[in-house]
A and B are shown apart, each in its own frame.
Chain A
Amino acid sequence: MHPTLITIVAYLTAAALSATRILVATRPIWGKLPATVQVVLPLAIPALATLVQELAGVKTGIDLTTAIIGAVLMAVPGLPSNRSAAPLQAGKESTREPSAGDVAVAESLIAKASVAPPPTSETKLPPMFPGAGALLLVVCAFHANACAPSKPPCDQAKLAAVVTICTAKSQECVNEGKSKSECEALSQCDLQIEQACSGGNK
Chain B
Amino acid sequence: MSELFALLTKFPELVPAITKIVEAFLKHEDPVVEAERQAEIAVAKAAIRLPFKEPE
Does A76 sit at the interface, judged by CB under 8 A? Answer: no
What are the residues of chain B within 8 A of A98 when measuring CB–CB? none
Residue of A nearest to B31 (CB): A150
For A147, give its contact among B28, B40, B48, B51 (CB under 8 Å). B28
Contact B27–A162 (Cβ < 8 Å): no
A146 to B28, CA, bound (A): 7
What are the residues of chain B within 8 A of A174 when measuring CB–CB? 51-52
Q: How large is the interface on B (under 10, 10 to 19, 20 to 34, 35 or more residues)?
A: 20 to 34
Does A193 sit at the interface, judged by CB under 8 A? Answer: yes
Contact A163–B27 (Cβ < 8 Å): no
Does B4 sit at the interface, judged by CB under 8 A? Answer: no
Say which one of A35-43, A111-119, A151-159 lies at the interface with B.
A151-159
What are the residues of chain A within 8 A of B47 when measuring CB–CB? 163, 167
For A170, give its contact among B33, B44, B48 (CB under 8 Å). B48
Does A171 sit at the interface, judged by CB under 8 A? Answer: yes
CB proximity to A under 8 Å, residues B14-56 = 24, 26-30, 33-34, 36-37, 40-41, 44-45, 47-52
8 residue pairs from A and B, CB less than 8 Å apart: A150-B24, A153-B36, A167-B48, A170-B48, A170-B51, A174-B51, A193-B45, A196-B44
List A residues at the B interface (Cβ < 8 Å). 1-3, 57, 143, 146-151, 153-154, 159, 162-163, 166-167, 169-171, 173-174, 179-180, 183, 186, 189-190, 193-194, 196-197
List B residues at the A interface (Cβ < 8 Å). 24, 26-30, 33-34, 36-37, 40-41, 44-45, 47-52
